[in-house]
Chains A and B, each alone.
Chain A
Amino acid sequence: MKNKILSAVLCISMAAAMLTGCGSAAQEAAPSAEPAQEEEAPAQEEAQPEAAEEEQTTASEANEEGGYELALVTDLGTIDDKSFNQGAWEGMEKYAKENNISYKYYQPQEGTTDSYIETIGLAIEGGAKLVVCPGFLFEEPVYAVQDQYPDVHFILLDGEPHDADYNYKTNDNVMPILFQEDQAGYLAGYALVKDGYTKLGFMGGMAVPAVIRYGYGFVQGADAAAQEDGVDVEIMYNYTGAFAATPEAQAMAASWYQNGTEVVFGCGGAVGNSVMAAAEEAGAKVVGVDVDQSSESDTVITSAMKQLSVSVYDGVKAFYDGSFPGGATTVFTAANDGVGLPMESSKFEKFTQADYDALYQKLSGGEITIQNGTDDSTTADLTLAKVKVQYVE
Chain B
Amino acid sequence: MSVIYFIFQQTMFFAIPLLIVALGGMFSERSGVVNIALEGIMTMGAFTSILFLNLTGGVMSGQGQLLIAIVIAMITGVVFSLFHAYAAINMKADQTISGTALNMFAPAFAIFVARIIQGVQQIQFSNTFRIESVPVLGSIPVIGDLLFQNTYITTYIGIAILIVSTIVLYRTRFGLRLRACGEHPQAADAAGVNVYRMQYAGVIISGALAGLGGLVFVVPTSTNFNATVSGYGFLALAVLIFGQWKPVRIMWASLFFGLTKAIASAYSGIPFLNNFGIPSYLYKMIPYIATLIVLIFTSKNSQAPRASGVPYDKGAR
A joins B in a complex:
yes
The chain A residues found within 8 Å of chain B, CB to CB, are: 2-3, 5-7, 9-10, 12-14, 16-18, 20-21, 24, 42-43, 46, 48-50, 53, 80-82, 236, 238, 244-252, 254-259, 261, 270, 273-274, 276-277, 280-281, 296-297, 390, 392-393
Chain B residues, Cβ within 8 Å of A24:
228, 230
Which of B163-171, B185-193, B199-207, B217-225 is the contact stretch?
Answer: B217-225
The chain B residues found within 8 Å of chain A, CB to CB, are: 2-3, 6, 10, 13-14, 34, 36, 39, 96, 100, 103, 115, 118-120, 122, 124, 127, 130, 150, 217, 220-224, 226, 228, 230-231, 233-235, 237-238, 241, 261-262, 264-271, 279-281, 288, 291, 295, 299, 302, 304, 306, 308-310
Chain B residues, Cβ within 8 Å of A18:
231
Chain A residues, Cβ within 8 Å of B130:
280-281
Chain A residues, Cβ within 8 Å of B34:
6, 9
Chain A residues, Cβ within 8 Å of B310:
2
Q: How far, in whole Å, are A6 and B300 apart by their CA atoms in the complex?
A: 12
Q: Are A43 and B124 neighbours in the complex by a CB distance under 8 Å?
A: yes
Determine the main DSSP class of A at the interface with B: helix
Residue among B13, B118, B270 making CB contact with A46, cutoff 8 Å = B118
Q: A82-B120, A270-B122 are in contact. Are A251 and B237 (CB under 8 A)?
A: no
Chain B residues, Cβ within 8 Å of A280:
127, 130, 223
Closest to A243 in B: B226
Q: Are B6 and A270 neighbours in the complex by a CB distance under 8 Å?
A: no
Chain A residues, Cβ within 8 Å of B96:
9, 12-13
Residue among A248, A297, A390 making CB contact with B223, cutoff 8 Å = A297
Residue among B36, B268, B299 making CB contact with A392, cutoff 8 Å = B268
Residue among B234, B268, B302 making CB contact with A16, cutoff 8 Å = B234
Q: Are B226 and A245 neighbours in the complex by a CB distance under 8 Å?
A: yes
Q: Are B281 and A255 neighbours in the complex by a CB distance under 8 Å?
A: no
Q: Are B119 and A50 neighbours in the complex by a CB distance under 8 Å?
A: yes
17 more CB-based (< 8 A) A-B contacts, given A273-B222, A277-B223: A3-B302, A3-B304, A9-B34, A14-B238, A14-B288, A17-B233, A17-B237, A18-B231, A80-B115, A251-B13, A254-B10, A257-B269, A258-B2, A273-B224, A277-B222, A296-B124, A392-B280
Closest 4 pairs (CB-CB, A-B): A17-B234, A255-B269, A255-B266, A251-B265
Q: How far, in whole Å, are A48 and B265 apart by their CA atoms in the complex?
A: 36
Q: Are A249 and B265 neighbours in the complex by a CB distance under 8 Å?
A: yes
Q: Are B231 and A20 neighbours in the complex by a CB distance under 8 Å?
A: yes
Minimum Cβ distance to chain B for residue A42 (Å): 5
Minimum Cβ distance to chain B for residue A262 (Å): 13
Chain A residues, Cβ within 8 Å of B266:
251-252, 254-255, 258
Q: Are A7 and B299 neighbours in the complex by a CB distance under 8 Å?
A: yes
Chain A residues, Cβ within 8 Å of B36:
9, 13, 16
Q: Are B150 and A281 neighbours in the complex by a CB distance under 8 Å?
A: yes
Q: Are A7 and B269 neighbours in the complex by a CB distance under 8 Å?
A: no
Q: Are A20 and B39 neighbours in the complex by a CB distance under 8 Å?
A: yes
Q: How far, in whole Å, are A264 and B288 apart by their CA atoms in the complex?
A: 30
Q: How far, in whole Å, are A224 and B241 apart by their CA atoms in the complex?
A: 54
Q: Are B226 and A277 neighbours in the complex by a CB distance under 8 Å?
A: no
Chain B residues, Cβ within 8 Å of A259:
269-271
Q: Are A248 and B264 neighbours in the complex by a CB distance under 8 Å?
A: yes
Minimum Cβ distance to chain B for residue A9 (Å): 6
Q: How far, in whole Å, are A391 and B36 apart by their CA atoms in the complex?
A: 38
Q: By CB atoms of chain A within 10 A, which of B34, B119, B235, B302 has the most?
A: B119
The tally of CB-CB contacts under 8 A between chains A and B is 174
Q: A3-B304, A14-B291, A17-B237 are in contact. Are A247 and B268 (CB under 8 A)?
A: no
Q: A17-B237, A261-B269, A281-B130 are in contact. Are A247 and B299 (CB under 8 A)?
A: no
24 residue pairs bridging A and B, Cβ less than 8 Å apart:
A7-B295, A7-B299, A9-B36, A16-B103, A16-B234, A42-B226, A50-B119, A81-B120, A82-B120, A247-B230, A250-B222, A251-B10, A251-B262, A252-B265, A255-B270, A256-B268, A258-B6, A270-B122, A270-B224, A273-B224, A274-B221, A277-B127, A277-B221, A296-B224
Q: A258-B6, A259-B269 are in contact. Are A251 and B14 (CB under 8 A)?
A: yes
Minimum Cβ distance to chain A for residue B200 (Å): 21
Q: By CB atoms of chain B within 10 A, which of A13, A24, A80, A252 has the most?
A: A13
Q: Are B268 and A252 neighbours in the complex by a CB distance under 8 Å?
A: yes
Q: Are A6 and B127 neighbours in the complex by a CB distance under 8 Å?
A: no
Q: Are A255 and B309 neighbours in the complex by a CB distance under 8 Å?
A: no
Q: How far, in whole Å, are A254 and B5 apart by their CA atoms in the complex?
A: 13
Chain B residues, Cβ within 8 Å of A21:
230-231, 234
Minimum Cβ distance to chain A for residue B168 (Å): 24
Q: Are A49 and B119 neighbours in the complex by a CB distance under 8 Å?
A: yes
Closest to B104 in A: A20
Chain A residues, Cβ within 8 Å of B231:
17-18, 20-21
Minimum Cβ distance to chain B for residue A280 (Å): 6
Q: Are B230 and A246 neighbours in the complex by a CB distance under 8 Å?
A: yes
Q: By CB atoms of chain B within 10 A, which of A3, A14, A276 has the most?
A: A14
Q: A6-B309, A49-B119 are in contact. Are A390 and B224 (CB under 8 A)?
A: no
Closest to B150 in A: A281
Q: Are A250 and B306 neighbours in the complex by a CB distance under 8 Å?
A: no
Q: How far, in whole Å, are A276 and B126 apart by their CA atoms in the complex?
A: 11
Q: By CB atoms of chain B within 10 A, which of A53, A251, A270, A296 has the most?
A: A251
Q: By CB atoms of chain A within 10 A, which of B14, B96, B120, B223 has the most?
A: B223
Chain A residues, Cβ within 8 Å of B3:
258
Q: A17-B238, A297-B223 are in contact. Are A2 and B122 (CB under 8 A)?
A: no
Chain A residues, Cβ within 8 Å of B224:
42-43, 245, 270, 273, 296
Chain B residues, Cβ within 8 Å of A2:
306, 309-310
Minimum Cβ distance to chain B for residue A65 (Å): 32
Chain A residues, Cβ within 8 Å of B230:
21, 24, 244, 246-247
Q: Are A255 and B265 neighbours in the complex by a CB distance under 8 Å?
A: yes
Chain B residues, Cβ within 8 Å of A48:
119
Q: By CB atoms of chain B within 10 A, which of A10, A12, A21 has the most?
A: A10
Q: How far, in whole Å, are A236 and B271 apart by their CA atoms in the complex?
A: 12
Q: Are B267 and A247 neighbours in the complex by a CB distance under 8 Å?
A: no
Q: How far, in whole Å, are A257 and B150 apart by their CA atoms in the complex?
A: 14
Q: Are B241 and A277 neighbours in the complex by a CB distance under 8 Å?
A: no
Q: A17-B234, A49-B120, A259-B271 are in contact. Are A247 and B6 (CB under 8 A)?
A: no
Minimum Cβ distance to chain B for residue A99 (Å): 26
Q: By CB atoms of chain A within 10 A, which of B118, B222, B230, B266 has the most?
A: B222
